Each structure stands twice: as C-alpha cells, then as structure tokens.
C-alpha cells in the first residue's frame, strides 16, 4: 500500500515521463507522520538491492534508516522523524553487484559547500516574495516587441573576497543590481548556479540539478537575489545544462550501480570532448527529471528564462566525436531522434506551465526552426543565439581596417537570415576566455583605435536586428580576457578611457531603450531595410530600422575604417531635417569629435535607392544614428 504522501497517479506520470513537478514527489521534504515531525525521503533507484538514508544523524550507518521499495519501477520511500532543516545526508545504495555507493540526492534542494558533497535538507516554501508587480507585468508583456539587453554574469568572478572565497547571494544583490540597473540592461543571465564540484567548470558540469550552489549561500539567499532584481526592474535568466553531466562519484553516474540517468550504450553516453555523460533522453523518468528541473527553477525561483546550453550536442550523435565514437540513428542519419523529441516535449511543457518566459537555445548549427513552435515543426524555443553573426563579426572586427574591404560580406551576410529565427546577438564568456582575448583586446590598432573599434562594434550590434547579450567586463573595456578565478579589473575605471567606455555603454543602452525602431520589429522584415550594403571600398554600410510608428524610423551609418569623410551622401526615404541623435565618435565617449551637430537637410535628389539624400560627416571607426525631426512644411508651421 502506498504512503498517503505518495500519490499513485504521480508515480504513473513519473514513469511515463509526464510528471512535470517530480521534485514535489522525490527528494527530501518536511513531513509529519503519526504526530511526529521530520522529513520524508523518496528516490528513484530501480536497480538497487537496498537504499538507506545516512548522515551525521545516524553516524552514516546504513542499517539505521532503510527505505522501502514502493513499486517495481524502483521508487524507494521512508520517513525519518528526527531529521530537521539543515541535516546533511546521502543515499547509501547497495548495487546489484554487491557494492555500496554513497550518492547525493538527485532531487536535493541544497548541498554542502565543496569539497564536501552531501545533500542538505531544505524546505521549498519558506521564502516570502515581494515581486508581485514584476510577475504581474511579465504575464502581459510582449517579449518579442520589447527591448532585451542581457548582462552575462559569473558571480564568483564579477567580484570576490579572495580566490575561491565569495560573497553571499544577498551581498551580490546589493552590489550587482544597482550597477546593472544604472547601465540600463533589461536582464541578467547567470552562468550555471546549479551545484557543481569544480569551480573551473563554471557550473557547466553539474551534480546537483535542484540545488543553488552553496558557494554563495542558501537557496533562499538566491531567491532574495532574484526578488531584488525583479523589484528593480531586472529579469533573471539561468544558464541551464540538460545536455550532459559530470562523472563525479557522488553524482548521477551509474546512480544505482547501473546506467540510469545516462544512456546504457557507452557510445551514446560518452561525451569525450568534455569527459562527461549524456542524459538518456529517451528514458521516461529522465524526461520527468529534466522537465521538472526546468520548471523548478522557473516556478520556485521566479526566473524569467533559461538559456539552454549546448543544444547542438544534444541534437547530433556525432557532436564532438571522431569516427568510431558514434553510430547512425535508425534512419541512417546523425540526428539524436530521442533528444529532438525531448526538446520539443520540454518546450511544450515549459510554455504551458510558465507562459511568457524566455527559452533561449545556444545552438551553433543551421538546424531549422529552432525558435519556431512545435506545432509548426520547430523545436519550440522562442529564441536562438545567433552564433553565425557572432563568428562573422568577430572575424571581421579583429582585422586591420585596411583588409576589411576584402571581407565586406561578413558584416552584411547576417541580414540574409536575420528574420529566419528569433535571434539573440551574443558576445558571451566563451568568446573572451581560453586565449581568445577580451573584446577590447581583439580590436586592431593603437590604444585609441581599440576603443573606437569597440564603440563601433557595439553600436553596430545594437543597431542590428535581434536582442543583445554582453559578457561582464565588456562594458568598461576589460583588457585581459575573462579570468574565472579572479574578479573583474575594476581598477581600470580609474582611467579615463575605461570610464568613458562604461559611460558609452550606459548611453548606448539609453538610446536602445528609448528607440522602438531598435527592437519593436526585431523579428519582422518590415523592421529593416538596406540603404547601401555595397560600399566595400570604404567599408561603410547604411541601413534603416523601423518600428510600428513611422515617425520612429532611424538611419544608421557605420564606418569600419579610420578615415573621415565630409559631405558623404546617404540616401534617406523622406524629405526633411535629420538630426544625429547618437555618434560613437563623440568626444565625451573618447572619440575624435567628428559629429554632425547641425540638423542635416535633405536634398531632393534620389540616392542609393531613396528619394532623398543628406550630406553628412562620416566619423572614423564609428556609427552614426540619424532621426528625421521634421519636414520644411512642418518647420514653417
């Protein structure tokens, strides 16, 4: 007979892969039984001969608190009255081969501070939220037609006390949120904060999928961080890793003595590139585990989205593998059909349970319809990272300007597919680490030119269709690449060029947030048209961005060489006066001051396919934003 707290229908759904809240069934939960308060434990271990809960409370003696097997599918259950919040525990599992294994709880809500590896009992529902206004607003906002600019953040290396000694989530809230809010970002994206044993994996090799890492405090400390972000108008996105998990002995690997969370076939299970194991996406209980985990972070922590890591490694059987390390699927292809089906099922569940959030795929191939709904044949995400744009632009911007004319296509090609997906334009941690250099230090030229190139690149990025993401440190021109064991080089802000770079990013965000043309039609071809994509000789491009309001139109002119041009003709669609509302070469940004201070009056002569044109100064290594202010008739009125 099942215990009253374990509902038979939930067990059925779990084993069918359809229990979306399996964390309420499994794991350790406060419970009262026969008038005694304690914790109930439930764990899935179908191959185990015996399962016990062990910890300091019973001197790690596996004979003291053995669990009972509830069904033939391997759910083990037990109630321990003396357990209280903060109790350290593991499962002692007797495998079919007669070995004893000590495992952390796959559904553990908290963990010991590394290098210790046990789970810690922690109640789910004791935090009092104060973000009702944000959550109500989120229900109704159109995220596709809103400004989204994301600050990618690794807490431990944003600022720390000393190497591998960190502040608390609450202290980070007090430091990070005013800074991000002042800069004008809409969201923070956290590198994985799920529990992980090795600092230098940055959280991408996880052991505790339901535990916010104890490096920075308790789960409720993390809830406070999210709560404070919301109260200050900042969304929070979590980098989430369902593609693979690490092999540490206390983790999911061969959890009950057999392959359970990973594929039984080692060819499918092994990810040799990373030394990790692939989840068995075809196993129902693993589907319940992963889908519940995504919902857990979105529901229990009020997160506003997930950035799903390494989607390509899920989709393709041969990802990161040599010949002989993978096998064709049943149809002779290289697609992981089970992973494809799982991803669709995941996204369908997410948007049914938590509407209007961000599900962003880090997908680096040309897989079609990543951000299309599943009912249209898509994978069901609502955003995809534009890795093609990122690779092309970084290759282009690292070149000496004298060579850029030979690679002009790199700054124009992305517009051919800009509306094929809902794109995020990312400059992420992966691009500023492992010898790739910081974004500023990728730039060619002398000290001045490096900063000018940085300003031009960022202005072009914010003018390009698609939402935005920048790795921390980019905003003030970090010279060194990201150092994951040290904090950012905040002392650079004592230098004028870096302080000006920070102010530039702030002003660029203000422009971005204030101008609907830069985001309202990001995913609609009506939001963009070329004026001149072909001037490769001078490495100049010009285009327009539109909103639903015709009066919001912006003309953007980008010059990727250090040459200055006076009287340069730019086609514009309407007669009138055009004002330069932003110029990345302005002196207060550290530029040379080649700006267009006076309104530019149109000349009634067709140019570059437009009915009118203006003659303007083109600043060096810079981007100009023009906005029509009035027509001659309107001015006279």
Could you identify the residue written with the tokens 């209280």? 84
Closest to 466 measured CA to CA, from 144, 185, 188: 144
What is the DSSP annotation of 202-242? TTSS-SEEEEE-GGG--HHHHHHHHHHHHHTT-EEEEEE--
Point out which residues pair with 305 in neighbouring strands.
237, 358
In whole angstroms, what is the distance from residue 385 CA to residue 466 CA? Answer: 9
Beta strands 235-240 and 305-308, pairing class: parallel
Structure-token pair, residue 548: 């639903």
Catalytically active residues, by annotation: 309, 362
Cα 616 to chain center, whole Å? 39
For residue 37, give the H/E element and its range.
Answer: strand 36-44
Closest to 151 measured CA to CA, from 422, 428, 391: 428
- Burial (CB count within 10 angstroms: exposed 0-12, middle 13-18, buried 19+), residue 323: exposed
Eight-state DSSP code of residue 338? H
Q: Using an 8 Å Cβ cutoff, are 209 and 215 in contact?
A: no
Closest to 539 measured CA to CA, from 556, 566, 558: 558
CB atoms within 10 A of CB 511: 18
> 473's torsion region: left (phi>0), alpha (psi -120 to 50) or beta?
left
In whole angstroms, what is the distance from residue 580 CA to residue 600 CA? Answer: 8
Point out which residues pair with 120 in neighbouring strands.
88
- Burial (CB count within 10 angstroms: exposed 0-12, middle 13-18, buried 19+), residue 406: exposed
In whole angstroms, what is the distance from residue 513 CA to residue 422 CA? Answer: 19
In whole angstroms, what is the distance from residue 169 CA to residue 220 CA? Answer: 9
What angle is formed at CA 21 by the lines to CA 17 and CA 24, rounded to 5 degrees?
A: 125
Residues 6+ apart with CB under 8 A from 324: none
- Using H for helix, E for strand and C for coil, what is the string for 457-468? HHHHHHHCCCEE
Residues 6+ apart with CB under 8 A from 56: 87, 88
């Amino acid at each position: 007979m099942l215990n009253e707290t374990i509902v038979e229908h939930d067990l059925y759904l779990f084993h069918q892969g359809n229990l979306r809240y399996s964390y309420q069934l499994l794991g350790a939960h406060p419970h009262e039984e026969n008038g005694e308060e304690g914790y109930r434990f439930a764990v899935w271990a179908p191959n185990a001969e015996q399962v016990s809960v062990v910890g300091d409370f019973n001197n790690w003696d596996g004979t003291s608190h053995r669990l009972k097997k509830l069904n033939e599918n391997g759910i083990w259950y037990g109630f321990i009255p003396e357990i209280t919040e903060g109790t350290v525990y593991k499962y002692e599992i007797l495998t079919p081969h007669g070995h004893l294994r000590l495992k952390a709880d796959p559904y553990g809500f908290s963990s010991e501070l590394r290098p210790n590896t046990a789970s810690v009992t922690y109640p789910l529902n004791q935090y009092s939220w104060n973000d009702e206004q944000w959550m109500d607003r989120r229900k109704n906002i159109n995220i596709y037609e809103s400004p989204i600019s994301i600050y990618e953040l690794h807490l431990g290396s944003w600022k720390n006390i000393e190497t591998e000694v960190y502040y608390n989530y609450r202290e980070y809230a007090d430091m990070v949120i005013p800074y991000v809010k002042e800069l004008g970002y809409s969201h923070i994206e956290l590198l994985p904060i799920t529990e992980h044993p090795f600092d230098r994996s940055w959280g991408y090799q996880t052991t505790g999928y339901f535990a916010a890492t104890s490096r920075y405090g308790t789960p409720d400390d993390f809830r406070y961080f999210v709560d404070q972000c919301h109260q200050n108008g900042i969304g929070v996105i979590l980098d989430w890793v369902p593609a693979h998990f690490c092999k540490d002995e206390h983790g999911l690997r061969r959890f009950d003595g057999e392959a359970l969370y990973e594929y039984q076939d080692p060819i499918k299970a092994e990810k040799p590139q990373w030394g990790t194991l692939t989840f068995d996406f075809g196993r129902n209980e693993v589907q319940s585990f992963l889908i519940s985990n995504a919902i857990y972070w979105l529901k229990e922590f009020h997160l506003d989205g997930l950035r799903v890591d390494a989607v390509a490694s899920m989709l393709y059987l041969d990802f990161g593998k040599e010949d002989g390390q993978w096998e064709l699927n049943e149809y002779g292809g290289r697609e992981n059909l089970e992973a494809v089906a799982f991803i669709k099922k995941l996204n369908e569940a997410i948007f049914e349970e938590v509407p209007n959030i961000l599900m962003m795929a880090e997908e680096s191939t040309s897989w079609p319809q990543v951000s299309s709904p599943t009912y249209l044949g898509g994978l069901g995400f609502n955003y995809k990272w534009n890795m093609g744009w990122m690779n092309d632009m970084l290759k282009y911007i690292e070149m000496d300007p004298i060579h850029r004319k030979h690679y002009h296509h790199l700054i124009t090609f992305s517009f051919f597919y800009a509306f094929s997906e809902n794109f995020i334009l990312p400059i992420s941690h992966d691009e500023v680490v492992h010898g790739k250099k910081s974004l500023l230090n990728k730039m060619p030229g002398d000290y001045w030119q490096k900063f000018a190139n940085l300003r031009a690149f960022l202005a072009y990025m914010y003018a390009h269709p698609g939402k935005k993401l920048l790795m921390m440190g980019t905003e003030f021109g970090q010279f060194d690449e990201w150092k994951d064991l040290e904090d950012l080089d905040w002392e650079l802000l004592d230098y004028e060029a870096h302080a000006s770079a920070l102010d530039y990013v702030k002003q660029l965000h203000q422009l971005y947030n204030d101008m609907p043309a830069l985001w309202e039609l990001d995913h609609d071809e009506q939001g963009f048209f070329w004026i001149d994509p072909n001037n490769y000789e001078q490495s100049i491009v010009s285009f327009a961005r539109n909103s639903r309001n015709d009066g919001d139109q912006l003309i953007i002119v980008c010059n990727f060489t250090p040459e200055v041009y006076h009287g340069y003709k730019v086609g514009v669609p309407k007669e009138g006066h055009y004002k330069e509302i932003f110029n990345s070469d302005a002196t207060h940004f550290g530029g040379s001051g080649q700006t267009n201070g006076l309104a530019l009056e149109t000349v009634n002569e067709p140019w570059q396919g437009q009915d009118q044109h203006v003659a303007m100064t083109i600043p060096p290594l810079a981007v100009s934003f023009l906005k029509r202010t009035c027509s001659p008739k309107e001015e006279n009125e």
